[in-house]
Amino acid sequence: MSSAVAVYIIGTPVACEEGVKDTWRDVANWATGQLEARFGEAVQVEYFDLFAPDCPTLPYDVQLPLVLANGEIVSSGDKISIPCIRKHLEAIGISPKN
């Protein structure tokens, strides 16, 4: 494979009674470890805060958290699901590492 599939997870901190929580970033960091363990260098996972200057342009009418793989929507507004992301990656031809 010539280049890694870019998996972007986009979220935002959430304000609650206890303060601001960055739960989606925490889940994205966990997801990164899971996906890299399964697919190795075939995937490159990055988390973006919605309000960060380097956040990719969002497709029209999506909800957070948003998961993209090479610009294609994997999930929008649902939980960050490793099985969902894994199935999508395998459907586009990414094989688990040996």
pLDDT score of 2 = 55
**13 CB-near residues (< 8 Å, 6+ apart):** 20, 21, 22, 24, 25, 49
pLDDT score of 98 = 74
Per-residue pLDDT tens for 6-65? Answer: 999 999 988 778 888 889 999 999 999 999 999 999 999 999 999 999 999 999 999 999
Q: CB count, 10 Å around CB of 37?
A: 10
**pLDDT at 1 > cutoff 80:** no
Q: Region 63-76: what's the mean pLDDT?
A: 96
User: Can you read off the two tokens belonging to residue 17?
Assistant: 């009674």
HSE-up of residue 33 (Cα within 13 Å, Cβ side): 5
pLDDT score of 16 = 78
